[in-house]
């Protein structure tokens, strides 16, 4: 996008620009998620398991992949993703329309039914600099 002149070299400006598109946007630090131009008002700092679940779900969707319970390794079971999804959707401030896009895709597997180009993930590149993940 930057090569086409659609984004800025300034990470904060790039973040603001993609938020304004209404896409799903996640930032690693501070932990935040945006949907339809609105910040999802969830306390991600105190909900580590739900953040890890949502982060991985979005990372996999960005790559066009399904997400399975093996991602959580030894502490997970086949129903782990189902339980985490249920907990996430019970949060009052989590957008219902976004929750409807989290679908089962086999036993112990889920996917976010959203095209990868509508998902923007900003990861910590340096101590305090965010850069968008492109894959």
pLDDT tens, position by position, 18-77: 999 999 999 998 999 999 999 999 999 999 999 999 999 999 999 999 988 888 766 777
pTM: 0.85
Q: Tokens 């957008």: give the residue.
A: 95
**pLDDT surpassing 80 at residue 88:** yes
Beta carbons within 8 Å of 54's beta carbon, 6+ residues apart: 26, 33, 88
Nearest to 11 by CA among 24, 28, 59: 28
CB 23 within 8 A of CB 37: no
Domain boundaries, the chain: 11-133
């Amino acid at each position: 996008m930057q090569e086409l002149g659609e984004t800025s070299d300034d990470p904060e400006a790039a973040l603001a620009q993609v938020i304004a598109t209404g896409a799903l946007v996640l930032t690693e630090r501070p932990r935040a998620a945006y949907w339809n131009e609105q910040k999802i008002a969830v306390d991600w700092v105190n909900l580590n398991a739900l953040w890890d679940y949502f982060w991985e779900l979005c990372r996999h969707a960005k790559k066009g992949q399904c997400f399975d319970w093996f991602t959580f390794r030894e502490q997970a079971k086949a129903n782990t993703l189902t339980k985490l999804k249920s907990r996430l959707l019970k949060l009052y401030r989590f957008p219902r329309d976004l929750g409807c896009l989290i679908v089962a895709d086999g036993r112990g597997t889920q996917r976010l039914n959203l095209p990868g180009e509508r998902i923007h993930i900003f990861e910590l590149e340096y101590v305090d600099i965010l850069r968008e993940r492109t894959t």
